[in-house]
Every structure is written in C-alpha cells, then in structure tokens.
Amino acid sequence: MESAKDFFNNPGLSSTKCHYLTENHDQSLEWEKESVSLHSCGTVKDNEVLARNIFSPHHYDPKTGNLTTLAFDDILNKGLSVLRFDYTTHDSVITIGQLKKKDTHEYHGYITIQASCIRGYIVDSKRAMAIYDTAMIKLPAHADICNISVTTKSSKNLLRIFLREAFSKLVPIP
C-alpha cells in the first residue's frame, strides 16, 4: 500500500480518488489522521469551519435561491473542494471564487460547515465521509471532503441531500 501523500499526490487518481477510498474504508480513516499534502497546514480538526465556493447553474439556482444536489457531486469521485477558515479569510474565499469563475457559470459566494458535522454523518454504522488536508503551494487552506463508504445510488442521493441541508445558507458576494 502506498503512503497517503503518494496516493493524494498521484495525478492519475485525482478524478477518482473517492472511489478508491470507498473501497478501503479503514485505510481512508487512517489517512485522514495524516497530512496528505506536501504543503500541509496540518490535519483538519473537528472544530474547523470549511467553506465551499458556489457557482451557477450547477451548484445554485439563482431564480429560487436554492443549492442543488449537484453542488456536492464531487464528493463521490474527485473530492469536494473546500477552504479551511483557520487558514484563510472571508475576503480570500471570495477572491478565490471570483478567480475560478468561468464564462459558462457565475460565482455567487460560499457556504460553510463545521468539520465535525461532516465526520458525524453515519451510514450503516460507518462514517460516510472523511476530510483530507490537500493544501497546495498557492492555496494552503485547501482540503477535500471524500465519500468513504456510500455505494448505492439511493445512499449517494441521501448523502448529497444531507450536505445540501447541513451546509449554511449562501454567504453572497458583496
């Protein structure tokens, strides 16, 4: 078995890492206790607040003001990209979101959740998600939330619905 750092820094696995983690639940939980980034701020603590930038039309319906479950699809494959507020600021989260905006979608702001809420979601007596410190040179506050146990179509839908309900309301851009 390769190390956590080797696994998370393997570009060939970047779009499918959550599939592997789901098949290796115990290893996934162990790796969460390690820093998996070469540029680490340290492992994610339960009391940390995590922010997810939100774009339309995929993440958010501006007509209704509601998040879509598609805002959370990445948790099933490449990992749900979030920023750790212990290592960033409100203004930085917004700047990062504005820089990621593309011609095909609009940036609206971000949503937040406490790490302990993610770790507290249990499916079939197993933790459903893990949070990994995936800091980057230019983005040291980066982390990924990955599904580590949910495999059926219905449980994946329930996971996305849970996340939509558990994250805060949208913190809009000024």
Exposed, middle or buried, 79 (CB in 10 Å: 0-12/13-18/19+)? buried
Instruction: Show me where the domains of the chain are located.
Output: 15-172
Query: How far apart, in whole angstroms, are the C-alpha atoms of residue 118 and residue 35?
Result: 18
> In 3-state terms, the chain is what percent helix, strand and coil (to 5)?
35, 25, 35
Q: Are 92 and 173 in contact (CB under 8 A)?
A: no
Tokens representing residue 57 in the block: 């039309």
pLDDT band at 1 (very low <50, low <70, confident <90, very high): low
pLDDT for residue 130 is more than 60 = yes
pTM of the model: 0.94
150 vs 20, 69, 130, 165, CA distance in Å?
12, 16, 12, 18
Neighbours of 155 (CB within 10 A): 15
Q: What is the pLDDT of residue 27?
A: 94
Q: What pLDDT, in 10s, does the model give residues 59-68?
A: 988 888 889 8
